[in-house]
Amino acid sequence: MEIKVLGPGCAKCQSLEKTVKDVVASLKLDIKVEEIKDMKQIMQYPILMTPGLVINGKVVMSGKVPTRADVERHIMSALKAEETTG
């Protein structure tokens, strides 16, 4: 699975990145969380407001810092989707 956090460095973006890394660590998953800070690259994704959370190339949420539970839910459902497809 690949997880990306889109954000040019705003306070909310940093806080999202931290939340995501915490969740990944607490679920004991071996996933690298990539930060995308370059505005040009960010604009490749269909996103309106940063921060944005991208899981497996799909923007799952944008514009706010989600709670840990939200992030966990998104990651779990992405894991499940990966299992069923292959």
Q: Which parts of this chain interact with other proteins (CB under 8 A)?
A: 8-12, 14-15, 39, 42-43, 46-50, 52, 59-64, 66
Q: Whose Cβ is closer to other proteins: residue 20's or residue 30's?
A: 20
Q: How far is the CB of 46 from other proteins (least distance, A)?
A: 4
Question: Helix-strand-coil percent breakdown of the chain, rounded to 5?
Answer: 45, 20, 35
Q: How far is the CB of 30 from other proteins (least distance, A)?
A: 26
C-alpha distances out from residue 85 to 17, 62, 80, Å: 27, 26, 9
So which residues are the catalytic ones? 10, 13
